[in-house]
Amino acid sequence: MSNLDKDLLLYAVTDRKNLGQTEFLTSIKQALAGGVTCLQLREKNLSREAFSAEAYAVKQLCQEAQVPFIINDSLEVALDCQADGLHVGQEDLQKSDFYQQIPSDMILGVSVQNVAQAKEAQAKGANYLGVGTIFPTQTKTDAVRVSRQTLAEICQAVNIPVVAIGGIDEDNMENLAGTGIAGLAIVNAIFGAPEIEKQSHKLKALAVKTVFTSRSVNLPPVLSIAGSDSSGGAGIQADIKAIMANDGFAMTAITAMTAQNTQGVTAIIESSPEFLQAQIATVFTDIYPLAIKVGMVPSPELMQVIAQELSLYQANNVVLDPVMVATSGAQLMKSETLDALKALARQATLITPNIDEAQILAEMEIRNATDMEVAAQKLTQELGCAVLVKGGHLVNDANDVFAQGNQVLWLNGQKINNSNTHGTGCTLSSAIAANLAHGEDLIPAIQNAKKYLSGILASQLDLGLGSGPMNHGYLLK
């Protein structure tokens, strides 16, 4: 019972109205395969015998999936099938004293609509509360509506977990972020969906986002989707260090492994699209990242997987570093990936091309600062995202130009005399992502990331025989 809080995260409640009899168990199997964390069997019109027989079958499925199984309304049925829990409403409590009758090791959930009912239920021994109806729903057309405000007050007033219920779906769920709920109970948006497993999976990521986002502000999770650099200066390794140094919790989805050092890349193994998809999906459905940095993506197929997954989970704060060629000269993206890269850029908050990459993306030559501005404006118009054209390869300064819509802004930096610049682009984009995850606005996020980068360049680490890596942790003891 200690993990009841987490078990309530995505709480599926069955509804026969959406389904034919033959599909019923299959639909439950699909919801369990999609990752629902709790299941309630809700039957309003079955005899006790029929309800118990069905409950026994569903209990087996939940047991296999290691998901708590709750019976709605009927203590007899819950006892017959040895369910993990029972859920009752205020009307059921008028008819019998479930608080006294329920075995002590059975979870008791109680529906409440206001703070007084919530406090009473907690005092009498409820283990969790269901609060609703939050949004209009066809499941219960006569139901009392509970406001977001009351939901938040109930969460404040009790110390047992609270789940919100009623009309919750992928479009309105996020309105409940910050209320203090432990989970979302969902009927139609799961069992009324054409593909129940896929839908459950998606709702799980959004439930993680809704419930945990406001709790992770001190160390916001940031996902880097990029390639591994065995020498540790660029790619995934630089990203982890930069995210950590900027007070983010770094997670990774690896697109490719490179055998690389400060002098060059000697071999590359790409992840399969399926494996990249699996990495992203497992992260989003468990620790929802508040920002995402995308780096080396060698092929169009991998680029498309990223675009598809980020759109599925409604990702925010996407910083895309369009890595094409390493500082050492190695080709890190196949040329046929360009269209897919542009498609992903349309979903991004910001793209951060260096001058070479901006030339390819904007299809123009860049010889001076004016050309950088023109390219940045052209790209923000074409792709709809903000654009930072980085001038790190210029000789005299480290000035980057930012463009978003009609706005153009120079973000100036002093050139630090250090030839060890392996991983500057990776580091900058990761630091920006971490700053965005902390809630900084885009321009300060970039300015602060540039300051961090100047600091680590100025600390003058000198490793390797080529353009060496930086000391990402120069401020750490």
Ligand X SMILES: Cc1ncc(COP(=O)(O)O)c(N)n1
What are the residues binding ligand X (CB under 6 A)? 226-227, 229, 234-235, 258, 260, 295-296, 323, 326-327, 332, 422-426
Measured from each CB, the residue nearest to Mg ion is: 425
Residue 129 or 238: the one with the smaller Cβ distance to ligand X is 238
CA 160 centroid distance within chain = 26
Q: Is 73 labelled as part of a ligand binding site?
A: yes
Pairing of strands 249-261, 264-270: antiparallel
- Alpha carbon distance 287, 295 (integer Å): 20
Catalytic residue list contains 464: no
Residue 327 known to be catalytic: no
Annotated catalytic, 37? no
Distance CA 201, CA 280 (A): 12
Residue among 209, 241, 293, 390 flagged as catalytic:
390
Report the alpha-carbon distance of residue 150 to residue 158 in Å, rounded. Answer: 12
d(CA 60, CA 195): 22
Binding to ligand ADP (CB under 6 A): which residues in 439-468?
450, 453-454, 457
List the single partner that 296 binds among ligand X, Mg ion, ligand ADP, none, CB under 5 to 8 Å by kind.
ligand X
The values of phi and psi at residue 103, to 5°, are -60, 150
- Whose CB is nearest to ligand ADP? 425
What's the token pair of residue 442? 């885009």
Confirm or deny that 40 is annotated as ligand binding. Answer: yes
Residue 372 CB partners (closer than 8 Å, separation 6+): 355, 358, 366, 389, 391, 401
If one asks whether residue 469 binds Mg ion (CB under 5 A), the answer comes out as no
Q: Report whether 114 contacts 154 (CB < 8 A).
A: yes
Alpha-carbon distance of 292 to 430, in angstroms, equals 8
CB of 423 vs ligand X, minimal distance in Å: 5
- Closest residue to ligand X: CB criterion: 235
Query: Catalytic residue at 390?
Result: yes
230 touches ligand ADP by CB under 6 A: no
Answer yes or no: 109 catalytic.
no
Q: Which of 204, 421, 427, 450 is catalytic?
A: 421
Q: Is 92 annotated as a binding residue?
A: yes
Query: Would the annotation count 85 as a binding residue?
Result: no
> Does the annotation flag 72 for ligand binding?
yes
- E strands present in 352-439: 386-389, 400-404, 407-411
Q: Are the C-beta atoms of 426 and 226 separated by less than 8 Å? A: yes
Rounded CA gap, 327 and 355, in Å? 12
To the nearest whole angstrom, how small is the minimum distance from the Cβ of residue 357 to ligand X?
9
Residue 453's binding partner among ligand X, ligand ADP, Mg ion, none (Cβ under 5 to 8 angstroms by kind) is ligand ADP
Q: Binding to Mg ion by residue 425, rule CB under 5 A? A: yes
Q: Least CB distance from residue 476 to ligand ADP, whole Å?
A: 20
Q: Answer yes or no whether residue 248 interacts with ligand ADP by CB under 6 A.
A: no
Q: Note if 95 is an active site residue.
A: no
Catalytic residue among 14, 37, 424, 427: 424
Which of 37, 233, 426, 450 is the catalytic position?
A: 426
Q: Name the residue among 166, 190, 187, 189 with its Cα closest to residue 176.
A: 166
Peptide bond into 133 cis (omega under 30): yes
> At 345, phi and psi to the nearest 5?
-60, -35
Q: How many CA atoms lie within 13 A of 172 on its CB side?
A: 14
Per DSSP, what are the bridge partners of residue 221?
249
Strand partners of residue 108: 86
Tokens of 471: 């000391």
Instruction: List binders of ligand ADP among 360-399 (CB under 6 A).
Output: 390-393, 398
Looking at beta carbons only, is 110 or 358 nearer to ligand X? 358
Question: Interface with ligand ADP includes 418 (CB under 6 A)?
Answer: yes
471 touching ligand ADP, by CB under 6 A: no
Catalytic residue among 425, 427, 450, 468: 425
Burial of 440 (0-12, 13-18, 19+ CB in 10 A): middle
Among 8-16, 50-58, 294-302, 424-432, the segment contacting ligand ADP (CB under 6 A) = 424-432
Is 139 annotated among the ligand-binding residues?
Answer: yes
Q: Which of 31/326 has CB closer to ligand ADP?
A: 326
Q: Which residues bind Mg ion (CB under 5 A)?
A: 425
The residues annotated as belonging to the active site are 390, 421, 423-426
Binding site for ligand ADP (CB under 6 A): 354, 390-393, 398, 400, 413, 415-416, 418, 421, 424-425, 428, 450, 453-454, 457
Q: Which residues are annotated as a binding site?
A: 40-44, 72-73, 92, 111, 137-140, 167
